[in-house]
Amino acid sequence: MGGRDATMVLLDENGIRCDGRKIDEPRKIMIKAGGLKNADGSAYIEFGDNKILVGVFGPRDVHPKHMSNTDTGILRVRYHMEPFSVGERKRPAPSRREIEISKVIKEALEPAVMLDKFPRTAVDVFIEVLQADGGTRCAALTAASVALADAGIPMRDMVAAIASGKVADTIILDVNNEEDQAGQADMPVGYMPSLKKITLLQLDGVLSPEEYKKCVDVGVKGCEVVYELQKKALHDKYFGNRGD
């Protein structure tokens, strides 16, 4: 979680956070479905200063063949940050953090995607973080879900994500980079809004049992807000924003 910066005021006496937001206010979010010419499906998200692009290929043949499954298609996820996306330049090779996040995002999408009708194939999700500012895994999962829908991969539900957390003993929604570094807890939440199931959940920090329940609740409600923007992105592309 990083060291504490005693000089940063994370929550002032008016309940305003270090970037001017209220405690239940998410950063500005923009989601676009499509955009890439060669990928089967794609999406782009801006979540605060996070800029993340996702491309999906599949279902397609699996190479090497021994990795394929005769009963169902498999889902593969690669979360990757560009060298220029973070404060200090990151070397191109995958870090342990990227590998863990790839796995966590894959397992957050698996409950939603339905690949049993595509045996011996794979669906590849490629996540590229162009600029990072705290909460990239939630923004990435959110965009990945839109990219999968854009590719026509059958899914039981969308998966929306946002991180809740705690600063100055207060539960907040959408933890930014400073709050992640200097705050007291950070809880990324991934949620299927129609089926009402949590598919991504991690925690960094210290929460009492009461705070824990509140934090989960704030996260779930935040995911419902994010879901509306995923819906808008797909409606804008496919339905000319005409809705029903």
Partner 1 sequence: MASVSVIDELKKAQILELLEQGKRVDGRALDETREMTIEINAIPKANGSARVHLGDTDVLCGVKIQPDKPFPDVGDKGMFMCTAELLPLSHPTVETGPPRDDVIELARVVDRGIRESHMVDVSDLVIEKDKSVVGVFADVVAIDYDGNYFDACSYAATAALLNSKTPTWEMVDDQPTVVEGGDKPLPVSTIPVSVTMGKIGNYIVVDPNGDEWESMDSRITITTDSDGNIVALQKGGSDGFTQEEINQCGELSVKVGAKIREQLKSAQEESQ
Partner 2 sequence: MADRRKYVIPGDVVTSGPFRPEQNVILEGNDIISTVVGISEIYDDSVKVIPLTGKYLPKIDDLVIGKVVSHTSLSWELDINSCYIGFLPAMDVFGRDFSTHSDELSSKLKTGDLVAARIANFDRTRDPLITISDRDLGKIDDGVLVKISTSKVPRLIGKKGSMIQMIENGTNAAVTIGQNGWVVVACESAEGLSKAKKAIEMVNEKAHIANLTDLIQDMLNEKDES
Is residue 51 a contact point for partner 1 (CB under 8 A)?
A: yes
Is residue 153 a contact point for partner 2 (CB under 8 A)?
A: yes
For partner 2, what does the binding mask look like between residues 24 and 43, x meaning CB under 8 A? ----------------xx--
Is residue 135 a contact point for partner 2 (CB under 8 A)?
A: no
Under rule CB under 8 A, which residues in 60-79 are in contact with partner 1?
60, 78
- Yes or no: say if 179 and 9 are a contact pair by the CB < 8 Å rule: no
Residue 117: CB atoms within 10 A of its CB come to: 10
Q: What span, in angstroms and rounded, lies between the C-alpha atoms of 161 and 79? A: 15
Residues ≥6 apart with Cβ < 8 Å to 244: none
Q: What is the dihedral of CA 129, 44, 49, 205, to 10 degrees?
A: -60
Q: From start to end of 95-196, where are the E strands?
A: 121-131, 160-167, 170-173, 185-192
Apex CA 50: angle with CA 89 and CA 131, to 5°?
A: 25
Nearer to partner 2, 58 or 135 (CB): 58
23 Ramachandran zone, left/alpha/beta (phi>0; psi -120 to 50): alpha
The single residue among 126, 163, 178, 233 that binds partner 1, judged by CB under 8 A, is 126
The single residue among 71, 88, 169, 244 that binds partner 1, judged by CB under 8 A, is 88
Q: What span, in angstroms and rounded, lies between the C-alpha atoms of 110 and 70? A: 17
**Strands 74-81 and 121-131, how do they pair?**
parallel
Residues ≥6 apart with Cβ < 8 Å to 84: none
The single residue among 4, 22, 89, 103 that binds partner 1, judged by CB under 8 A, is 89
Nearer to partner 1, 151 or 234 (CB): 151
Closest separation in Å from C-beta 198 to partner 2 = 15
Closest separation in Å from C-beta 119 to partner 2 = 5
For partner 1, what does the binding mask look like between residues 6 and 45, x meaning CB under 8 A? ------------------------------xxxx--x---
Nearer to partner 2, 94 or 152 (CB): 152
Indicate which of partner 2, partner 1, none lies near residue 51 (CB less than 5 to 8 Å, by partner kind): partner 1
The single residue among 46, 133, 150, 157 that binds partner 1, judged by CB under 8 A, is 133
The sign of the torsion formed by the CA atoms of 65, 69, 70, 74 equals: negative
Q: Write the single-letter amino acid at 203.
A: L
Q: Which residues contribute to the site for partner 1 (CB under 8 A)?
A: 36-39, 42, 49, 51, 53-55, 57, 60, 78, 80, 82-85, 87-89, 92, 124, 126, 128, 130-131, 133
Q: Which residues contribute to the site for partner 2 (CB under 8 A)?
A: 40-41, 58-61, 73, 112, 114, 117-121, 149-158, 192-195, 231, 234-235, 238-240, 242-244
